[in-house]
Structure 1
Amino acid sequence: MTFKNILVALDGSSSSQLAADYGFWLATNLGASLSAQHVVDPRLVDLFIEPEFGEELGFGISVDTSDKVFNALRKIGSVILNLYATEAASRGLKTTTFLAEGYVAEEIVKYGDKFDLIILGHRGKGKRSMPSRMMLGSMAERVALNAGVPVLIARQPVDKVKQILVAYDGSEPARGALLMAENLAKNTGARLKAVTIVTSDQNKAESKFLVEEGERFLREYSDKDVFAIEEGAVTNTLLGYAEDTNSLLVLGAYGFTNPDRNVLGSTTTAVIREAKSSVLVFRPKRTHIKEKTQEVLKQTVRR
């Protein structure tokens, strides 16, 4: 899978600047088109005109005040997008920008369905976040779990990425993630590595089979030492391996099937919240799933 159309979600924070840098990096190496989105959340208006904030800012509660605050937020959003477009142009990249209004996660997911990849930042632990959990740091998990396309959550600077690391368990989404990661490694010059996690001795024989199977799926890296088997708790092992190897960690949605290895559930949530590495949650685009389903239905009717 190749990313041809990339959307970067921006909120003006340092974490969203990381996301912007990933967008520039991928667009340059993949020849992809680049777009940026900023969402003005109406709940911020209510926040600013609350008495405890409004008095400090010199605002009174009125319709006129609400309009002024909302217009100010729109202007800030426009500045953020314009700065992004200017930086993209300085890198020889063309980009389109979109200023949206609504709840942040919902707008990113809705607009992101038009693209092959969504990139956003994540503030992580110890970072200050807006009340009501409205900014991108608190939205990353919701977007990753609800988007119909792959989502890249930027955590470490892109120039620190030396390896593309795939969590592999032999499932169909993990195979797709493996092929996508292979394409990324090929085009960015990063190393490619795939890791299968085992939690007990009983899983080792099965894991060796999965590794052999996975090697056959590789198209251009089949002769390289790509796969590794690690033993331990899934989340901690993945996080430690990714951090130690300066990796962009790739997870296939619905990739793990038992409770401890449910990527879309507990493991993905924990990885997104705790990772110091950047994380790419892979899934096929919904449109592709829909087209495949329709084709199956047509074949069934013909029979």
Structure 2
Amino acid sequence: MTTNVLACIDGSSHATAVCDWACWASQRLAAPLSFIHVLDKARQPGLADLSGSIGLGSQEHLLEELAELDEKRGKLAREQGRIMLAAARERAIDDGVAEPATLQRHGGLVDTLVELEPDTRLLVLGRHGEESASAYAHLGSHVEQVIRALHRPILVTQGEFKAPQRIMLAFDGSATTRKGVEMLAKSPLFNGLELHLVLVGADTDDNREQINWAQNTLAQAGIQAHAAIVPGEVDKALPQYQQDNGIDLMVMGAYGHSRIRQLLVGSTTTAMIRSARVPLLVLR
């Protein structure tokens, strides 16, 4: 079964970067690209039930006008979505992507993405939704919900797109990050790019053995990786390494059994992404 790069498009400031990252990934993976816009009824301003308000129940014309207004809002939201999808498709074609597809769905974002998961190879979405005005606003709640619900790699974008040259994989020797190394070894996504393996902890024989395994696994696949063991706290050491080494994209496992796990299931997720100032690829 052919699996797609699926990109979530909305009215947020991240939409352009989502589009560009999705185009980049689609071409690197030689995978079809699909854009999706989800009309989440729960997030749309809708018609409140005002029939119980004093004197309002008898004013049927007012209720009819409110119902018409609600219908107009729905039509405008659908049309806005179609316009955004058309613009994303045109941008992708200009970037050299062949026949990008567009989808517009009604319902909850997470439920919709779970439904499409079997046909998804990589999901691309912005760090926050259109409710947030700042490009570095608080991590949208939907992002963490999606990370918890899906079992596909998820690329969380932020800022403007720049084709990555240096990639950092946060490695801790856990089963999850070992699986991540094996996934990267098989994937064409990072072919020809500079890859850094970073383990946060003490420079012990065990940690050295773990990171050597990762480096050798990648080397067998023809990928030369820089390996580093750095001291400190994970949520400080990884962003610092990223800044010191000009890392364009961070890669982490979503669920492990180390302190890296806490970064992606707790409140420190927000601080991690904000401090790094680069996109984050979450491996499942």
TM-score between both structures, scaled by the size of structure 1? 0.75
Secondary structure of 2:162's aligned partner: helix
What is the deviation of 1:165? 0.8
1:141 is the counterpart of 2:140? no
Alignment of 1:51-90 (within 5 A): 62-90=66-94
In 2: Cα distance, 1:163 partner to 1:236 partner: 19
* Residue matched to 2:237: 237
Change (3 A) 1:50 1:154: farther
1:99 is the counterpart of 2:98? no
Structure 1: unaligned runs, 5 residues or longer: 52-58, 284-303
In 2: Cα distance, 1:86 partner to 1:170 partner: 43
Alignment of 1:110-259 (within 5 A): 110-123=115-128, 128=133, 137-159=140-162, 161-182=164-185, 183-184=187-188, 186-187=190-191, 189-198=192-201, 201=202, 204-218=204-218, 219-221=220-222, 224-244=224-244, 245-255=246-256, 257-259=257-259
RMSD of Structure 2 on Structure 1 (CA): 3.1
Q: Is the 8 A contact 1:234 1:261 kept in 2?
A: no
In 1: Cα distance, 2:188 partner to 2:242 partner: 16
In 1: Cα distance, 2:216 partner to 2:230 partner: 20
Change (3 A) 1:213 1:263: farther
* Residue matched to 2:37: 38
TM-score between both structures, scaled by the size of structure 2? 0.80
Structure 2: unaligned runs, 5 residues or longer: 51-62
Q: Is the 8 A contact 1:197 1:232 kept in 2?
A: yes
Secondary structure of 1:159's aligned partner: coil
1:57-90 residue CA offsets vs partner (Å, 9 max, x unmatched): xx99622211111111011101111111112222
Q: Is the 8 A contact 1:175 1:217 kept in 2?
A: no
* Residue matched to 2:58: none
Secondary structure of 1:226's aligned partner: strand
1:109 is the counterpart of 2:108? no
1:114-157 residue CA offsets vs partner (Å, 9 max, x unmatched): 20110001149xx527xxx9x99442222122212111001243
Q: Is the 8 A contact 2:24 2:163 kept in 1?
A: no
